[in-house]
Amino acid sequence: MATPNYAFEKRQRDLAKKQKKEEKRKRKTTPSDDQPQAIEETVEPQSDDDTTST
């Protein structure tokens, strides 16, 4: 029976953690660029016609 290679398993866990952290960091930095566009889209449907009719 083969013995488990704990060093390899630990290395794989560490690499997975690093990859998850990197993806999370990228997600946190990219939405800041996308947010102003989303705000502009929500503002556009509102019209000023209501204020001019009174």
Q: What global pTM score does this model have?
A: 0.49
Shortest CA distance to 30 belongs to which of 18, 22, 20? 22
Question: How high is the pLDDT of residue 30?
Answer: 81
Tokens representing residue 23 in the block: 């993806």
Tens of pLDDT along 2-54? 899 999 999 999 999 999 999 999 999 886 555 555 445 555 555 666 666 55
Rounded alpha-carbon distances, angstroms, from residue 44 to 29, 32, 41: 25, 20, 5
What tokens were used for 2?
Answer: 């083969």
